[in-house]
Amino acid sequence: MNKSDPILTVDGVIFQFVDTKLSVLLIQRGYEPFKGQWALPGVYIEPGETSKQALERVLAQKADLSLSKITLIEQPFAFDAPHRDPRAYAVTVMYMGLCKNAQPGSAGDGSNLQNPQFTTLSELPELAYDHRAIVAFAHNRLAALATHTNVVGMLLPKTFTLTQLQQAYEAIFEKKFDKRNFRKRMLMLGFVKETGDMYTDGAHRPAKLYTLAKNKFQSYTPAFE
């Protein structure tokens, strides 16, 4: 390929909760440029594959994470990326993905894994390229989605307490909500319903368990709502 051809890459912003903290999947780059630095999992789109296939490939190779573990938000977004090769123009296609309990691989052998880690948003290290802006963008989109969809359910276990749900929202919006108003709103919007089961956790009153009222997420496509 001619070095100055436009370059098309894909980057994934994969969110997951670690404890009650919103985290994003990072890898540590194995080669130049930015060797050793933290970055989003990303890769060149190869001849004959789609951006989604390339994303699947990089997640498998560098983080040992299967796309099947992830709810992908099917709305790729393009960023005019800073030049990787000084003579080429690069566009990166960003996907946002949501998951829970995903364990990125940690093989110490001769694999291609690049030390994948879910890293708390509030503790992001310096990132390669403009990846910090891309993460911020995805975070912002997640918040926008969370205001009018049940998307947060994709980040939580099948059943959860309202306190867990509230903590998730608080992590995404980076602010506190009033407990009574929050619960009123969730029930009013019909996002959740009781399962009938309880969850006992410690030396205090057990909590009711809830689940998503409609547990499929309407993917947020360019065709709108």
Partner DNA sequence: GCAAAAGTGTTCCAGATACACCCATGA
Partner DNA sequence: TCATGGGTGTATCTGGAACACTTTTGC
Cβ nearer to DNA, comparing 53 with 163: 163
**Binding site residues, a second copy, CB under 8 A:** 1-2, 4-6, 8, 45-52, 76-80, 87-89, 91, 93, 133-134, 136-137, 140, 222-224
Preceding omega of 33 cis (within 30 degrees of 0): yes
Q: Does 175 bind DNA (CB under 7 A)?
A: no
CB of residue 147 to a second copy, shortest distance in Å: 13
Count H helices, E strands: the chain?
4, 9
Dihedral sign computed on CA atoms, order 130, 54, 121, 151: positive
Q: For residues 218 and 225, what is the distance between their CA atoms, to the nearest angstrom?
A: 9
Kindly tell me which residue out of 163, 170, 173, 211 binds DNA, with binding defined by CB under 7 A.
Answer: 163
Q: Does 193 bind DNA (CB under 7 A)?
A: no
Q: Does 179 bind DNA (CB under 7 A)?
A: yes
Q: Is residue 1 classed as helix, strand or coil in its secondary structure?
A: coil
Q: Does 204 bind DNA (CB under 7 A)?
A: yes
Q: Does 190 bind DNA (CB under 7 A)?
A: no
- Identify whether the C-beta of residue 6 lies closer than 8 Å to the C-beta of residue 89: yes
Residues that bind DNA (CB under 7 A): 161-163, 178-181, 183-185, 188, 200-208
